[in-house]
């Protein structure tokens, strides 16, 4: 098992102006595989695009079997996860069985995800007992939905998957902006990053983002 743990240091200039009382909380990021990360801040834990695996491919990094085992059993560092976010239903971001396995061992975790991912979870007989903890985010194109889960602000942007004009036209895809412990954390999933006008429309560039996970 190899987990890469990063304590993210923020710009000293902006922090210097903050008092201790309003200084954002320390942020710890653990890389899982592909676009999967564990984010820890202010006693909150977010797992995004991390619950997948069980296959071996050379086109993406996949969590090792031992990491999958820890995640599904909700064992440290994957214990007490507050929020499980899924950007889309591709197998290198999401495995319905692994999400449900994790929820069975983590009674506090809430999932936010596109409807397409829910349709894959619904066929598991355990889904009925868990559906109250699974939030389907609205899917109109270019929509932005907001909710708060365990004190974590969640904004979901309904955006196209990379190469949406052809192969991935039918994929329901979300980007997320989390507000936790005074930190703004952005995750693009598999979105293309060339639509500057769209990001300007979201207000990006006016407010600082502390940390962005971007597809490249
Ligand atoms: Zn994808």
- Over residues 182-187, the mean pLDDT reads 96
Ion ligand 1: residue ranges with CB closer than 5 A: 90, 190
Give 31-89 pLDDT, tens digit per residue: 999 999 999 999 999 999 999 998 877 788 999 999 999 999 999 999 999 999 999 99
Q: Say how many Å lie between the CA of residue 215 and the centre of ligand 1.
A: 10
Structural domain for 139, as ranges? 4-16+25-213
| pLDDT value of residue 60 | 86
Q: Say how many Å lie between the CA of residue 88 and the centre of ligand 1.
A: 7
How many domains does one find in the chain?
1
Q: Say how many Å lie between the CA of residue 146 and the centre of ligand 1.
A: 23
Q: 59 vs 22, which has greater pLDDT? A: 59
Angstrom CA distances, 158 to 167, 171, 187, 189, stand at 18, 11, 12, 11
Taking 80 as the threshold, does the pLDDT of residue 22 lie above it?
no
Q: Say how many Å lie between the CA of residue 8 and the centre of ligand 1.
A: 26
Q: Say how many Å lie between the CA of residue 19 and the centre of ligand 1.
A: 41
| pLDDT value of residue 21 | 60
Residue 104: its H or E element: helix 96-105
Q: Say how many Å lie between the CA of residue 44 and the centre of ligand 1.
A: 27
172: domain CATH number is 3.60.15.10
Q: Say how many Å lie between the CA of residue 168 and the centre of ligand 1.
A: 8
Taking 60 as the threshold, does the pLDDT of residue 12 lie above it?
no
Q: Say how many Å lie between the CA of residue 161 and the centre of ligand 1.
A: 7
Q: Say how many Å lie between the CA of residue 35 and the centre of ligand 1.
A: 10
| pLDDT value of residue 90 | 95
Strands (E) across the chain are located at: 4-8, 27-33, 36-41, 44-48, 83-85, 110-113, 134-136, 144-149, 152-158, 174-180, 183-187, 211-213
Q: Say how many Å lie between the CA of residue 202 and the centre of ligand 1.
A: 22
């Amino acid at each position: 098992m190899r987990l890469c743990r990063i304590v993210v240091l923020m710009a000293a200039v902006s922090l210097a102006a903050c008092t201790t009382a309003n200084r954002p909380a320390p942020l710890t990021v653990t890389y899982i595989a592909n676009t999967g990360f564990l984010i820890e801040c202010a006693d909150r834990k977010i797992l995004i695009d991390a619950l997948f695996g069980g296959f071996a491919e050379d086109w993406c990094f996949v969590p090792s079997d031992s990491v999958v085992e820890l995640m599904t059993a909700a064992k440290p560092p994957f214990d007490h996860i507050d929020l499980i976010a899924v950007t889309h239903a591709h197998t290198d971001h999401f495995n319905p069985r692994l999400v449900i396995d994790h929820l069975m061992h983590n009674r506090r975790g809430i999932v936010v995800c596109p409807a397409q991912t829910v349709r894959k979870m619904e066929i598991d007989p355990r889904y009925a007992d868990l559906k109250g903890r699974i939030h389907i985010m609205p899917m109109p194109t270019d929509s932005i939905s907001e909710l708060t889960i365990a004190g974590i602000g969640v904004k979901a942007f309904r955006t196209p998957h990379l190469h949406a004009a052809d192969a991935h036209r039918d994929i329901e895809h979300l980007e997320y902006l989390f507000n936790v412990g005074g930190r703004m954390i952005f995750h693009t999933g598999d979105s293309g990053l060339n639509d500057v006008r769209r990001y300007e429309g979201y207000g990006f560039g006016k407010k600082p983002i502390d940390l962005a996970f971007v597809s490249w």
